[in-house]
């Protein structure tokens, strides 16, 4: 089942539509979060249980060719599902930042490394700070590096 290439679009319409338009335009349209003007990337994961392909837009937090994947979900009390997909299938992850997706290796950061990437994340997308303030969970951050 984990070899499935079936794509299961997000149940959230605005997310599904953003992925569709971003992909169809090679990243030239639908490449910001709504009217913020701040850039996004699209991350592909494999479902932890279903094994199907999932696509998740995230804010673009790039530094020297690496990307932070911030599991903020607007400061909700629970981690987003894609966080668990990354843990379950770390070797099946792609990032699209422009015309086409590329395979990445991922690592979750903690301690000083996380503090540094958190700072970069908040510079890229200031509301992350508010999201962390409003939830008791520690918002996880993964780093994606091109393979
Ligand atoms: N979310 C963030 O967390 N951080 C961001 O920086 C961010 C930016 C952003 C920018 C643009 C945009 O359009 C959306 C943005 N989002 C951001 C929202 C993000 O794209 C996700 O929609 C959000 O984080 C929620 O992710 P989620 O994985 O929890 O999505 C839910 C709604 C979802 O897709 N649920 C599916 C469903 O059918 O209910 C299940 C998906 C799934 O992966 N299931 C797994 C499987 O095996 O298939 C496991 C199921 C299980 O129970 O274990």
Give the torsion through C-alpha atoms of 100, 102, 73, 117, to 10 deg: -120
- At the top level of CATH, the class of 13-146 is mainly beta
Other Cβ atoms less than 10 A from the Cβ of 15: the count is 14
Over residues 33-90, the pLDDT tens digits come to: 998 999 999 999 999 999 999 999 999 999 999 999 999 999 999 999 999 999 999 9
Beta strands in 23-140, from DSSP E residues, in sequence order: 40-46, 53-59, 61-63, 66-70, 94-96, 101-108
Domain spans in the chain, listed from the N-terminal domain onward = 13-146
Tell me the pLDDT tens digit for each residue of 108-134. 999 999 999 999 999 999 999 999 999
Cβ neighbors of 5 (< 8 A, separation 6 or more) are: 53
Q: Is residue 1 over pLDDT 50?
A: no
If you take atom 34 of ligand 1, which residue's CA is the nearest one? 10
HSE, side-chain direction, 13 A CA sphere, residue 27: 14
Give me ligand 1 centre to Cα 51, in Å.
15
CB 127 within 8 A of CB 140: no
The whole-angstrom separation of Cα 127 and Cα 7 is 30
In which band, very low, low, confident or very high, does the pLDDT at 102 lie, cut at 50, 70 and 90?
Answer: very high
- What is the model's pLDDT at position 4? 84
Per-residue model confidence (pLDDT) at position 81: 98
Distance from Cα 10 to the centre of ligand 1, integer Å: 7
């Amino acid at each position: 089942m984990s070899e499935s290439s079936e794509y299961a679009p997000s149940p959230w319409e605005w997310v599904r539509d953003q992925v569709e338009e971003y992909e169809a335009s090679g990243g030239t349209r639908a490449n910001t979060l709504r009217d913020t003007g701040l850039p996004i990337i699209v991350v592909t994961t494999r479902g932890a249980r279903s094994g199907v392909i999932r696509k998740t837009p995230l804010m673009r937090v790039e530094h020297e060719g690496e990307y932070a994947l911030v599991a903020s979900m607007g400061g909700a009390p629970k981690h987003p599902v894609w966080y668990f997909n990354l843990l379950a299938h770390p070797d099946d992850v792609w990032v699209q930042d422009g015309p086409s997706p590329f395979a990445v290796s991922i690592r979750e950061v903690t301690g000083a490394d996380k503090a540094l990437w958190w700072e970069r994340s908040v510079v890229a997308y200031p509301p992350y700070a508010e999201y962390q303030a409003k939830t008791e969970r520690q918002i996880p951050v993964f780093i994606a590096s091109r393979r």
